[in-house]
Structures are given as structure tokens and as C-alpha cells.
Amino acid sequence: MKIAKYLVLVGALVGTPFAQLLMGNNLTVIKVGKTEFTQGKVDSLTKLLAAQQLQGQQPTEEMMDQVRWAVIDNLVGQEMLRLEGDRQKLDAPAKKVDSLITLFKSQFPSEDVFTKELKKSGSTLADFKEKVKRQVQADMLLEKAIPYPKDPTESEKKSYFDKHKAEAVISDTISGVQIYLKTDKGEAAQSINDKKQILAGLAAQWRSKKGKDLMSAAQAFQMLAAQNSDDPEAKTTGGLMKPFLAKDFGAEFAAAAKPLKVGDVSEVFQTKVGVMVFLLTEKNDGKYESYAHKVDYIMKVESERERQLAIKTYLDGLSKSFPVTYFNKDYTPPQAIGAPKGAK
């Protein structure tokens, strides 16, 4: 399984006129082989990534440092992989490159919109294709050197749970996502039945697409809640119900939730406020079945963390062939790729 990739696609270094070289933004702060990266290049990408990740949140100095380290690691790592790929004369499969470009284009309303966005970024389709090609080449190198970890088996997950089950907090609380349609006192039976049918249809729609990943499934159910629930807070919470006692929401709710396993959605049931369906996402009963999805997630995160460390070791090794120089301490990550051990 491919979780989060260590390297992201970044733009190529843009040259600047000699007359501007005395400006701080154009001072070289990092050099990989013969390729130089300027302060302006790093700062520009840092601002862009921070805006994407923080989404309007006012960043602290520490946050910006972390984003800048990520940008620098990506720039250095991508360039080293490019150089190594060229040295090994790797050729990215054309079908793979074209497939990724087609996939990326599909995220835009039309080909025209995609082309306009490329122009806005000062790029061309040829430039974009070359970047995708380089990314595929980098992926080929990394997958060959450090293969992606396999998904944990059921036996491995149970063994992990047995080893850590003493750490689980056991209680009668549950968590989940609700979608409900309000019903009024004296409302016609046909009207109530129509609402039940609507909820049953939403549940069926979700079941047909939920997949095996509980986190993604819960997010999809929250989207349905935000779009359809009469809960006034659903548009912001997605119908999410944090740890609670089912009995506190009435006997009907408790009865509907009791037979559910984590990842199950209930049949439609009546409550004091209306008709409802409920997705169970957490059950703190101490049984392996209720924690299996958490164990799966934790084990995958740990495997990916180990892979990231292996990638760092691999890139440090490449620095013997493609030396990395950091000229400014403010542009030198704490664990800089290719930096001598103990360097600050």
C-alpha cells in the first residue's frame, strides 16, 4: 500500500538575470551536484505549500520552519533522484506517464481549464510532461531500492493487538456518524415512511462504495450527513458524534447501535427527534474486532515511518556521488539530506 510519499513533484529551478544576482532572493542557498537552488525559489515554494496546508490559518514561525524543511528536503531529494536516474539511464514508461497526465487532467472541468492553469503557472504541457516523467523515474528508483511495505496480515494484526491491548481504554462509550431527518408530532405515516426510504437509500448508496478503509468510509458518510441531515450542525461536523454512551440518546438509539460492529451502518430507526441511520466508527469494548481498523492504521504508519528512514539513508548515500552543499543555516534542515553527521 502506498501511503504518503516522501517526495513530491516540484518545479525546476528558474534562472535569473545577472543584474539581479546581488538581491538576497537570488543568492544560492543549496547546491546539489551542479544544480543551484536560490533563497527566492525556496521561499516561493514554502509560501505556496504553507497556503495549501494551513488553509487560511495564520502560521507561526515554527510552522513555517517545518514547511521550509519539507520543501528543501523535497528539492534536494528530487534532484538527487533525477541525477541518479540519468546515471542509470532509466526511462519512465510512456504509458505510465500518459496515464498519470490523463488522471491529473481529469481533475479539471475541461482540457481548456487545465491548459489555462498551466499557463498561469508559467508552464507548458511539455514542461508538465517532463516533470511527470521525472516523478515516475524517481518512483522507480525508490521502489527498487526501498520497496513499499506489504499490508499487515490478519495474524500480524492480532499479534500486535495482543502485545498492546493493555494500552486500550475500555469503556461503554462509542463514536460514530449520524444522519437524521426530523419528524414532527402527528406527522403523516406516509411522510415518515418517505423519509425512512430516503435514509435507507443513502445507507445503501454508501454501502455500495465504502471500500475497506474505515477512515475514508467515515468521511464519505460525513459528506452524506452534511448534505442531507436535518442536524443543524451537520454542515460543519458532518454528523460526527464523539465518544458518548448510547443509552444517553434513548432506548431506540441504544437498541439500534448495540448489534453493530465497527464499520457497520444501522438500519433506519425512529428516535425522539426523527428517523436516523448511524455509522459506528469506534467501540471501546476491549475486543480485537473493535480495534482491528486502528491496529491496521497504526501498523501501516509505523511501516511507512521505517520506509521514510530508509529513504533518508538511501539519499544520504547518493550524496557521495552528488554532493550537497548548504550555504545558509536558515536553509539547512535539522536532519539535512547529504549533510555530514553532526553538521549544523
Give me the mean pLDDT over the 164-184 stretch. Answer: 93
pLDDT of 11 above 70:
no
pLDDT-derived band at 53 (thresholds 50, 70, 90) equals confident
The DSSP symbol for 319 reads: T
**End-to-end distance of the chain based on CA atoms, in angstroms?**
35
* pLDDT tens-digit map of 78-126: 999 999 999 999 889 999 999 999 998 898 888 888 888 888 877 888 8
C-alpha cell at 240: 460526527
Alpha-carbon distance of 29 to 39, in angstroms, equals 6
Phi, psi for 93 (deg, rounded to 5): -55, 130
pTM of the model: 0.73
Residue 144's CB is within 10 A of a number of other CB atoms, namely 10
The whole-number pLDDT of residue 24 equals 59
Beta-carbon contacts of 233 under 8 Å, excluding residues fewer than 6 positions away, are none
Domains of the chain: 18-150+293-331 (1.10.4030.10), 170-285 (3.10.50.40)
* pLDDT tens-digit map of 188-231: 999 999 999 999 999 999 998 887 788 899 999 999 999 999 99
Give the H/E segment covering residue 325. strand 324-326
The DSSP symbol for 338 reads: T
User: Between β-strands 274-283 and 324-326, what pairing exists: parallel, antiparallel or unpaired?
Assistant: unpaired
* CA 126 vs CA 112, 137, 173, 186, 204: distances in Å: 16, 16, 55, 66, 44
The whole-number pLDDT of residue 113 equals 87
C-alpha cell at 2: 502506498
Q: What is the total residue count of the chain? A: 344
**Which residue from 253, 252, 283, 250 is spatially nearest to 178, judged by alpha carbons?**
253
Least confident of 108-122, 180-194, 303-317: 108-122
Alpha-carbon distance of 89 to 300, in angstroms, equals 33
Decide if 241 contacts 175 (C-beta within 8 A).
Answer: yes
* pLDDT tens-digit map of 250-287: 999 999 999 999 999 999 999 988 999 999 999 999 99
